[in-house]
Structure 1
């Protein structure tokens, strides 16, 4: 007797494909947010007007806040569009909390470079903030978004094959248009 489609558990291949798709979308949004973050940081810190020259942590915080707003909108509308929470304010608060953790990681890297290593050149600032700090913060954010922020269930059908959801601690699943529901 064949199992019904609602009893379908994603195969390892389907789960890997869903994870890869989610990670690629997350990565593209992150890459665009990175451009916003780095560009604004360097404009504020080292740009022609040098509005915040000599204040790398303030420059980083302003740039990161701007990039965070962009990232939340892009992730909510694209990467996790089928997993958004019903309570938008709660989701935004969790997203802000995840990004505050990421900013703290980046800030620590800048503080360590400036105050422990004594390196304060534009190259040292960028390596500390946007290689080491951003890399560590990105890993932290990916897992926080997946397991804590975007855990809602789909409220409307998505296109077939689109990654749409996971429960807390779960895996992304795909929308099954034929059966008008998620594959399980």
Structure 2
């Protein structure tokens, strides 16, 4: 039973190939995280431009949006480059939806910490959202990227595509 699970997890890859893929995923994610945090801080606190609505909320919306594009390009061109897709537009839309799901995971962790457990300090918020939420959200995203967004095209679908 365990070996069947491992075979399914590896999806035809060796353990080494899977580990390389996973490390690439983590590297791309770190790059996107740096873009997100760096751009957010530049827009919200260091550039003297007035953003519409709330400065921080608008800055965060912009930084997350750009980091999603950075993550998609990195994962498409490096992490999952060997996985063919019939539609890059569909793939990108699925990628965005998965990232919204990952954000929901982090927000759920924060909500449980604040509203169920009653922890409301800055430290507790950061642990809930940026440690627990980040770890769970990253696991969520990786599984869905691997098995849904960047999943290989089934042989029957790829053989019917024009070349």
- CA RMSD, 1 decimal: 3.3
| Larger RCO, structure (CA 8 Å, separation 6 or more) | 1
Matches within 5 A, 1:25-64: 25-43=24-42, 47-48=45-46, 60-64=60-64
Could you tell me which residue of structure 1 aligns to residue 119 of structure 2? 117
Q: Structure 1 or 2: larger helix share?
A: 2
Q: Tell me if 1:150 matches 2:150.
A: yes
Q: TM-score, normalised by structure 2?
A: 0.68
Matched, 1:90 2:86: no
Offset from partner CA, 1:86-117 (integer Å, 9 cap, x none): 21111111111111100111222344455542
Whole-Å Cα distance in 2 between the matches of residues 58 and 112 of structure 1? 25
Gaps of 5+ in 2: 1-9, 155-163
Show structure 1 runs of 5+ residues with no match.
1-11, 154-166, 168-184
Structure with higher strand content: 1
Higher Cα radius of gyration: 1
| C-alpha separation in 2, matches of 1:84 and 1:131 | 33
TM-score, normalised to structure 1, is 0.61
Query: How many residue pairs are counted as aligned between the two chains?
Result: 140
**Kindly tell me: are residues 19 and 84 of structure 1, through their superposed partners in 2, closer, same or farther at Cα, counting changes over 3 Å?**
same
